[in-house]
Amino acid sequence: MVLVVGAVLSTPFLLRAVAPSDTDWGQLSDVSQTYGALSVLISAAALVGVAASLTYQARQTRVEQEESARSAHRELVLLSLGDPVLRTCWEPPGAEVTADEWRRLAFTNLIMARWENSFRLRRTTEEQLRRLLANHFRGAPARTHWAQAGHGWRLHAEAGGNRRARRFALLADECFHAAVARGAAVAPEDYFLPDAPP
């Protein structure tokens, strides 16, 4: 420590000893102060860059955690779709449905969850989402799902406090009611042409 202090204190004398005799110390001082000001600006820019990088990393970490949680939920739903025993591990349906209807509703819920996630992460624009939902609610399964689950989606979005999730639920409601106003939905049995006889 003593050596460092001594080196700092002796620096002016060392510089005077090695500098040419006609050196303008005032001019050098001005140049030094200019570089000092530039150094402060560069340091501030670097600090802003570090802050931006940390903010981006925090957002990416949050997105990865959400993706991981959604992936785990999706796996649970897919397992229960294929196993009648596992289906009863979920809460009972809110309305009387057959097992096939429950499977259809559960899968429709996965589709909606994927669109909601994409919208929240700004991978899907509002206009794109409106088009997806308008087509989606042409089908009876989609309408049945939202009629039964829409209220839960709205409550979940409000409780979560995410503005984009709340907007998704609102848009889904708007598109659902618009589809109902346009007329009857396409029934599942009318989705496809009958198979040709062998």
- Contact assessment for residue 112 and residue 145, using Cβ atoms and an 8 Å cutoff: yes
Q: To 5 degrees, how large is the angle CA 149–CA 74–CA 158?
A: 40
What is the phi-psi region of residue 125: left when phi exceeds 0, alpha when psi lies from -120 to 50, beta otherwise?
beta
- Contact assessment for residue 114 and residue 73, using Cβ atoms and an 8 Å cutoff: no
Per-residue pLDDT, 11: 58
pLDDT in tens, the chain (198 residues): 667 656 655 655 555 665 566 665 566 565 566 666 667 777 777 788 888 887 878 777 776 777 777 787 788 888 888 888 888 888 888 888 899 999 999 999 999 999 999 999 999 999 999 999 999 999 999 999 999 999 999 999 999 889 999 999 999 999 999 999 999 999 999 999 888 777
**116-157 residue pLDDT tens:** 999 999 999 999 999 999 999 999 999 999 999 999 999 999
